[in-house]
Structures are given as structure tokens and as C-alpha cells.
Structure 1
Amino acid sequence: MGPDPITPADDRMVLGGDVGGTSTRVLTIGWDGSPLGRGSAGGGNPVSHPDTAAAAFGHALREALAGLDPARVRAAVVGMAGGSALQQPTVRDAFARVWREAGVRCAPTYVTDLEVAFAAGTAEADGTVLIAGTGAVAGSLRQRHLVRIADGHGWLLGDDGSGFWLGREAARATLRTLDAGERLGPLAKSVLRELNAWGAAQGPGPNPGRLRVIHRLNTGPPVLLAELAPLVTAAHAAGDPVAQRIVEEAARLLAVTVGRVRRTDERTPIVLAGGLAARSSPVGARLRSLVAEAHSGPVCSASDGAAGAAWLALSAADAGAATEEARLRLALT
């Protein structure tokens, strides 16, 4: 038998989850905002891979509740990219089964990934949020509910400035360099090595390595493009002018996406979330400058969507407990 469930003095708990394409995270917190349990798993988009998404969420949920009594969960909020898939009975039933098997009795509330990202960055009810990671999407919120959205169209139709976009631009720049027979810079070299085309690029004949790059990217999964994004960051740090131009354009496109959902006279917070929007990212650093130049209002960072979801769950269960102090405690853990 396992250990007895933890029963603190105030044993009421809430739970927040963030289901994304690359990772799934669940956080259980107490009434004072203190973390009690965490869980993580791989990503899963409920639109394209509902079974994978439900299984990943189930794994993370069990981890976050380990040693805790799931019957004590008073509210649960889950942010989900592709959450519209829950309107399909099979997808909805798959997630409902996960909750039942975990022993959680309260009915979960599903919201968008934009709403939990915004809550992770500010306690304000109105404002703007941008998520820039593998994909890119921005939204305007009123009373913590999404009222307007821009981009998030997917790698084929949009997600301008995202990880997908960066990787595609890196591949295109590499192919243009090969076509022109120009000297390969740090970015082109790293792309060729990543795609196992470096040897072919050193061989005889016109445009060596070109066919290898084209074949690999056109026959591989779309996420292969996003996996090239870190090469742009590394080449940017090495001073590659091609990578520097790509980074500048990515930041510009993301700033444009923010502007599509925000009025020019707004002074509400702007929350930036996702790896590309981080201060440590060259795209994020430049993006922050562009956003600050174009808009009024504080620019905030959000690092953990599950923390934002947990804070929203606490607010739903007891608005008085969902203080800024509790939100900051979550943001710092």
C-alpha cells in the first residue's frame, strides 16, 4: 500500500492544467496558493491527436495528485490549445474518463491557452496576451475571457514569427544560399548538419545538398521545421547576418500580431508567453522593445500556463483567496 494521502490543516485544493502541442503540465495548489503537487507529460493536440492528448493529460494529472486526496479538489481549470475539439463527443468522453479515473469529483472548466497564459502574467482582468513558441497566437481579454484573437492559424497558414516560421526561414535561406553557390555561413552549415545533408553539400555537382534538404523537410513531419529554430538563435549569437535578419523579422511579425488585437489607446497589461517571447531569447528581447515602442501599458512575462490555470481555479472557488500575492507565489515556484 502507498502512503496515506496528505491532509493539511486547510485541505481544500484546486488544480490547474496546461495542455499544449509540445508539453502538458498540471499543478495542484492549496488555498493559499502554495504548490502541493506537479505533473508533466508530453504534448498532444486534441484536434489532431485526441487520444494522445488525453493520455498525456492523464499522466500529468496522476503525477500532480500523487499522495493527495483527489476528492479534496474544489475547482479545476485547464487551458488547452485546440480546445474546440472538446465539442466532439469522443474527445470530450476521453478527457472525462481521465478525470473519473483520477478520482476528481468537481467538474473541470476548459479555457483557451491564451486565457491561462494571461493569468500567469498578471492579476488584471483586461489586457493583451501573445504566446510565441512552436506556434504563435495573440488575444485580447476582457474580464479574463478571450474576446478577440489573431493568428494561431497553424504552420501552413500562419503562426508568423513562431518556431515553425523561424525554422522554415532558416531552411529557405539555406536553400537560397545553395542555389546561388554562395559561401555557407554559420546558419546554413548548422541546418545542413542538422538535416544530415552536410556530406552531400561537400560533394561535386550543382547545388550539392539541395535535394537532401528538400526531401528531408518535405517528407518529414511538420514539427521538423520548428526543430530548426534553435539553430537560428545560435547563429544569431555567432553574428550570422542571415540569422540576425530572420530574428528581426520574427520579432516584427509577432509585434504586428499583438497590434492586431490591441487598441492603440489601451493601457492594460501586455503579457508575453512562450519560449520565443522570453527575455533570454533574441526574438523575445527585440519583441519587447518593439511592443514597448508601439503600445502603452506594462509588458509582463508568463512562464507557466499551469500556474495561471491554477490561479484561475482558485479565483473560481474563492475570489478572496485569489490574491496577487498568491499569483506571484505561483509564478516564482
Structure 2
Amino acid sequence: MEAQVSRRPADWLVLGGDMGGTSTRILVAGPDGTPVGRGRAGGGNPVSHPATAAAALGQALGAALADLDPARVRAAVVGVAGGSALSRPEVRTAFDRVWSEAGLTCAPTYASDLEIAFAAGTSEPDGTVLIAGTGTVAGALRGRRLVHTVDGHGWLLGDDGSGFWLGREAARATLRSIDAAEPPGPLVTSVLRELGALDEPVAERPDLNGQRVRVIDTLNDRPPVRLAELAPLVTAAYMVRDPSAERIVEEAARLLFETVCRARPPAERTPIVLAGSVASENSPVGVALRALVAERFAGSTRSARDGVGGAAWFALAAADARAATEEARSRLTII
């Protein structure tokens, strides 16, 4: 990764960014890795929604730099999901415009979201990383550079076990329950309520066809990616041992494990970094996934709680390689 560096006085800063489908985050830090500014905005994928992604970047930059002089930023690295879209001139122009409007004078380096997530989880140069949030993508790294990518195909063609996948499975389980005229369990009840298809108070004999139509119409009226908003309902229902939710969680963990397997040689002993809300230690999918990974692979399993810290660490290394210590990385990645 060759980040471009702007030479500034000793009170220089670095900037890291993480652009994903759920949120866009910016972190500004000093030479020792101490955060001095943070910004957060909505998600945006430059492949499918370049204008939205550029606008979100601009909002997050504005918030992070609100009390700082942007000219002090010596180096910047931004991790992007769907970063290949930045090769399109019209997309890159939109990103360059918001960058300039933020007052930044150093040129940004755009990196893979997998690279910055891996750096957020470990300082080791080689290993495997999985991000499971709204979407799913995994990769193998050598020398902190991505050498192989698995999945990341988007909601239509892949993203197995992702937040989108969980939400879609919750919707499908709901429709199957309605078709079978089954008494709704916790998952189905919560999905019906979320979609405005649950009769309140609950009727003794609900209008099943009406519920079916409302579920289908409501979901079809929304952008498909919003199915991911139903994912937390799966987690909540799992916690009360809803059978449908348990099956969905088990299958999601299996699919994510298979994704890791496609990215990692069986005998490798390097670290495995898991990132994203679905793969987190607090997610039932993440817990089940960790058990599968530990049973199959050698090498430690680590969590990346904040990918933006990995991006800032890369920027720190570009600004001054001597400053990119493990201590600085720890400061940058602690939420």
C-alpha cells in the first residue's frame, strides 16, 4: 500500500476511514495514535450507490474534522467495500470533490476493507480475515496485502451468512409459517410487527392472506438491502430459543465457516480475524462461527471491533513508519 504523504510540521495528524454498507466512519489521530476526532455517517457502496457513498464520506469527514485544521493531516487511508468502483472516472470525481471540500490537502489512499479489518485485529502481516456485516467477504493476506478474495458478491449473488442473508431468511420463515397456518413463534411475531402485518391486538383467527400480502408488499416496496434490518430480530428470537431462529443462526455460521475455508489453506497457522456485527463475539452467529473455526484451524482467532482504526494505523505508517507501533495500533482500535 503506497499512501501519499503531505509533509507537515511536527503537530501533524493522520486520518483513517472505513466505508461499509451500514456506516461510514472517519478517525483522525495524532502521531502517537491518540484519536483526536471521529465522524460517522450513513453507509454507502460506491458500486451500487456512488452518489450516496460520496455524500456519506463528506458528512463523516466534516464531523471528524470539525474542530481541527484539515491541512495538518499528513496521510490518509480509507477502506472501501466495493472499492473497484473508484476506477470509474465519474465515481472518483465525486469522491475527490468531497475530499477537497473537506479542506484536506493530502491525497487519500483507498484500500480494501479486508486489509484494514485485518490490521484492526492483528499487527501480524499474514493471515485470513472475514467481514460479516450487511454483506459477507473474506480474504487471505500476505504482507498486509490482499492476495485472494472470497464472496463479496453482493446480496443478489452471494453474501452468504450476512446480515442481509439473515434478514431474508427471517422473512422467508415468516412467509412459510403463514402458508402453513402455524401459530407464530417469537421470530415470526416480531417480523410481522416490524413490517406492520401483525393485527394488534392479536386476533384469535388472523387474516393470514392479508398478512401474507402485507409482508410481500412491504418488502417489495423497500430497497432489497433493507432486508438486513430484520437481522436483529433473528438474534432476539434466538435468545428465547425460537426454533426457526436457531436454525437460521446455525446455517449462517456454517455458511460463514465455509467462506473462511475457501480463503484459508487447511494447514495454515496464521491469525484469523473476524469482523463485522454478524461475526462479532456478541452475536450468536459469531459465537457458533468461532467454535467451528477453532475446531478446524490452528492459529489464533481475533476480533476486529473497529476497522477504521486499522486504516488510521496504515496512515500512521505512511506518515512515519517509526510511529506505527503496536501501542499506537492498540490506541487506534480501542472503541
TM range (shorter): over 0.9
Structure 2 CA distance for aligned equivalents of residues 259 and 140 of structure 1? 11
Structure 1 CA distance for aligned equivalents of residues 92 and 195 of structure 2? 38
Instruction: Say if 1:193 and 1:127 are closer, same or farther in 2 by CA, change over 3 A.
Output: same
Q: 1:313 aligns to what?
A: 315
Gaps of 5+ in 1: 1-8
Structure 1 CA distance for aligned equivalents of residues 26 and 286 of structure 2? 26
Preserved CA contact (<8 Å) 2:307 2:333: no
Q: 1:12 aligns to what?
A: 12
Residue 205 (structure 1) shift: 6.0
- Tell me how large the CA RMSD over aligned residues is: 1.8
Taking structure 2 as the reference length, the TM-score comes to: 0.93
Instruction: Say if 1:35 and 1:206 are closer, same or farther in 2 by CA, change over 3 A.
Output: closer
Structure 1 CA distance for aligned equivalents of residues 120 and 214 of structure 2? 43
> In the alignment, is residue 94 of structure 1 matched against residue 108 of structure 2?
no
Correspondence list, 1:270-285, <5 A: 270-285=272-287
Q: What secondary structure, in the 3-state scheme, does the structure 2 residue paired with 1:55 have?
A: helix
Residue 69 (structure 1) shift: 2.1
Correspondence list, 1:148-227, <5 A: 148-199=148-199, 202=203, 207=209, 209-227=211-229
Q: What secondary structure, in the 3-state scheme, does the structure 1 residue paired with 2:255 have?
A: helix
Percent identity between the two aligned chains: 69
Counterpart pick for 1:330 among 313, 317, 332: 332
Instruction: Say if 1:186 and 1:123 are closer, same or farther in 2 by CA, change over 3 A.
Output: same
Residue 325 (structure 1) shift: 1.0
Structure 2 CA distance for aligned equivalents of residues 44 and 205 of structure 1? 38
Structure 2 CA distance for aligned equivalents of residues 224 and 46 of structure 1? 17
Q: 1:144 aligns to what?
A: 144
Gaps of 5+ in 2: 1-8
Structure 2 CA distance for aligned equivalents of residues 270 and 173 of structure 1? 32
Preserved CA contact (<8 Å) 2:306 2:334: no
User: What code does the residue aligned with 1:249 have?
Assistant: E
> Cα deviation per residue 1:108-144 (whole Å; 9 max; x = unaligned)?
1101111111111111111111111111111111111
> In the alignment, is residue 242 of structure 1 matched against residue 250 of structure 2?
no
Residue 317 (structure 1) shift: 2.0
Structure 1 CA distance for aligned equivalents of residues 324 and 232 of structure 2? 37
Counterpart pick for 2:233 among 217, 231, 234: 231
Preserved CA contact (<8 Å) 1:32 1:321: yes
User: What code does the residue aligned with 1:141 have?
Assistant: L
Structure 2 CA distance for aligned equivalents of residues 232 and 206 of structure 1? 22
Q: What secondary structure, in the 3-state scheme, does the structure 2 residue paired with 1:277 have?
A: coil
Preserved CA contact (<8 Å) 1:181 1:207: no
Structure 2 CA distance for aligned equivalents of residues 14 and 270 of structure 1? 27
Q: 1:261 aligns to what?
A: 263
- Count of aligned pairs: 326
Instruction: Say if 1:248 and 1:316 are closer, same or farther in 2 by CA, change over 3 A.
Output: same
Preserved CA contact (<8 Å) 2:14 2:316: yes
User: What code does the residue aligned with 1:37 have?
Assistant: G
Structure 2 CA distance for aligned equivalents of residues 74 and 190 of structure 1? 49
Residue 261 (structure 1) shift: 0.5
Residue 198 (structure 1) shift: 1.2
Preserved CA contact (<8 Å) 1:178 1:208: no
User: What code does the residue aligned with 2:329 have?
Assistant: R
Residue 206 (structure 1) shift: 5.9
Structure 1 CA distance for aligned equivalents of residues 107 and 301 of structure 2? 34
Q: What secondary structure, in the 3-state scheme, does the structure 2 residue paired with 1:199 have?
A: coil
Structure 2 CA distance for aligned equivalents of residues 238 and 113 of structure 1? 34
Structure 2 CA distance for aligned equivalents of residues 182 and 53 of structure 1? 42
Structure 2 CA distance for aligned equivalents of residues 62 and 205 of structure 1? 49
Q: What secondary structure, in the 3-state scheme, does the structure 1 residue paired with 2:27 have?
A: strand
Instruction: Say if 1:206 and 1:132 are closer, same or farther in 2 by CA, change over 3 A.
Output: closer
Residue 68 (structure 1) shift: 2.0
Instruction: Say if 1:297 and 1:197 are closer, same or farther in 2 by CA, change over 3 A.
Output: same
Q: 1:252 aligns to what?
A: 254
User: What code does the residue aligned with 1:273 have?
Assistant: A
Structure 2 CA distance for aligned equivalents of residues 170 and 72 of structure 1? 48
